[in-house]
Amino acid sequence: EVQLLESGGGLVQPAGSLRLSCAASGFSFTSYALTWVRQAPGKGLECVSSLGGNGVTTYYADSVKGRFTISRDDSKNTLYLQMNSLRLEDTAVYYCAKVGTTGVWDWGQGTLVTVSS
């Protein structure tokens, strides 16, 4: 069974930094792309950043480009999202998702990031 467990969310001040983690199990971690999706309070879903299965190719939404960095640690089966220069509009629940080759995505339960002074 695929399991994805996000952690690292919390309250941070504007311009601050935070690192999210997503611990994965139940599948071959290095064989799949992984994506961070966020949802601001009362709003829709936004794909924020992806890491290819090769662990090298990265993708970022324009809204976070230059501020967020996605990476993974294969020895820990863990995906990360380093978030710098945080803004009020980055407040959201952040989900990690395993990108299935057939279109089936598996999701974690999310971690809440609140950017506020």
Partner 1 sequence: DIQMTQSPSSLSASVGDRVTITCRASQTIGRHLSWYQQKPGKAPKLLIYAASSLQSGVPSRFSGSGSGTDFTLTISSLQPEDSATYYCQQTYSSPMCSFGQGTKLEIK
Q: Which is nearest to 115 in space by CA: 79, 96, 89?
A: 89
- Please tell me the distance from the alpha carbon of residue 51 to that of residue 67, in angstroms, as a whole number: 16
Span near partner 1 by CB under 8 A; candidates 11-19, 21-29, 38-46, 76-84: 38-46
Judged by CB under 8 A, the number of residues near partner 1 is 24
**Residue 41 in the binding site for partner 1 (CB under 8 A):** no
Minimum distance from CB of 59 to partner 1 (Å)? 5
Question: Token digits for 63?
Answer: 């809204």
Indicate the residue type of 117. S
- Please tell me the distance from the alpha carbon of residue 64 to that of residue 28, in angstroms, as a whole number: 28
**Residue 31 in the binding site for partner 1 (CB under 8 A):** no
Residues in contact with partner 1 by CB under 8 A are: 33-35, 37, 44-47, 50-52, 59, 61, 95, 99-100, 102-105, 107-110
